[in-house]
C-alpha cells in the first residue's frame, strides 16, 4: 500500500512491516524539499489509518517523535466514542465588557487558547476587540 504511489519522495528501502499495539502496520520514510517524513499505515478494525510525521531535513528527532505518535494509536472503546463531541468554530458577537482573554477562555478542546483565538481572528498581540465585533471561537456546542 505504501508503495502504491501516494507517497512522494518515498525511500523504498525504508518500507517495513510491523505490529503497532497489536495491529498490522507498515512504516516508511520519505523526503521532499527540505523535509523528512515518517509514514505509518495501520490496519485496525477493518479500517486503514495513515499517520504522517514531518520534520525539517536537519532534524535528528523525527524517529523518536514518529514512534511516540504511532505508539499512541489505539481503537477507542464504544464508551469513548459515545462521549466524543465534535469541535466547531462558531462566530459570536462580542458583548460589552468582553475581552480577547474572556472570549478565548470560553474555547474548549484546545491548548494555548488566547494564541489560537488571535490566529483564528487575525488579531495581533496588541489588538483588542470591541462590543459588536464578530469573532470566531472553538466550541463543542
Among 75, 78, 74, 9, smallest CA distance to 39 is for 9
Residues 20-29: tens digit of each pLDDT? 999 999 999 9
Residues 35-76: tens digit of each pLDDT? 999 999 999 989 999 999 999 999 999 999 999 999 999 999
Q: Rounded mean pLDDT of 79-107?
A: 95
| Residue spans per domain, the chain | 2-81, 85-139
CB 39 within 8 A of CB 27: yes
Among 96, 42, 44, 94, smallest CA distance to 69 is for 42
- Helix or strand holding residue 78 (H, E): helix 78-83
pLDDT, position 42: 97
**Protein fold of 85-139:** Membrane-bound Lytic Murein Transglycosylase D; Chain A (3.10.350)
pTM of the model: 0.66
Mean pLDDT, the chain, whole residue set: 95
Among 42, 36, 43, 23, smallest CA distance to 64 is for 36
pLDDT, position 48: 96
Amino acid at each position: 500500500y505504501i508503495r502504491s504511489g501516494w507517497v512522494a519522495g518515498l525511500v523504498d528501502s525504508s518500507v517495513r512491516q510491523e505490529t503497532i499495539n497489536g495491529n498490522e502496520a507498515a512504516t516508511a520514510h520519505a523526503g521532499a524539499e527540505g523535509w523528512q517524513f515518517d509514514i505509518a499505515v495501520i490496519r485496525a478494525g477493518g479500517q486503514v489509518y495513515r499517520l504522517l510525521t514531518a520534520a525539517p531535513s536537519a532534524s535528528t528527532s523525527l524517529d523518536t517523535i514518529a514512534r511516540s505518535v504511532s505508539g499512541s494509536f489505539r481503537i477507542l472503546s464504544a464508551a469513548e466514542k459515545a462521549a466524543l463531541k465534535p469541535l466547531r468554530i462558531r462566530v459570536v458577537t462580542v458583548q460589552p465588557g468582553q475581552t480577547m482573554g474572556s472570549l478565548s477562555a470560553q474555547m474548549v478542546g484546545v491548548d494555548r487558547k488566547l494564541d489560537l483565538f488571535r490566529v483564528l481572528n487575525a488579531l495581533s498581540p496588541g489588538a483588542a476587540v470591541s462590543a459588536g465585533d464578530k469573532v470566531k471561537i472553538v466550541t463543542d456546542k
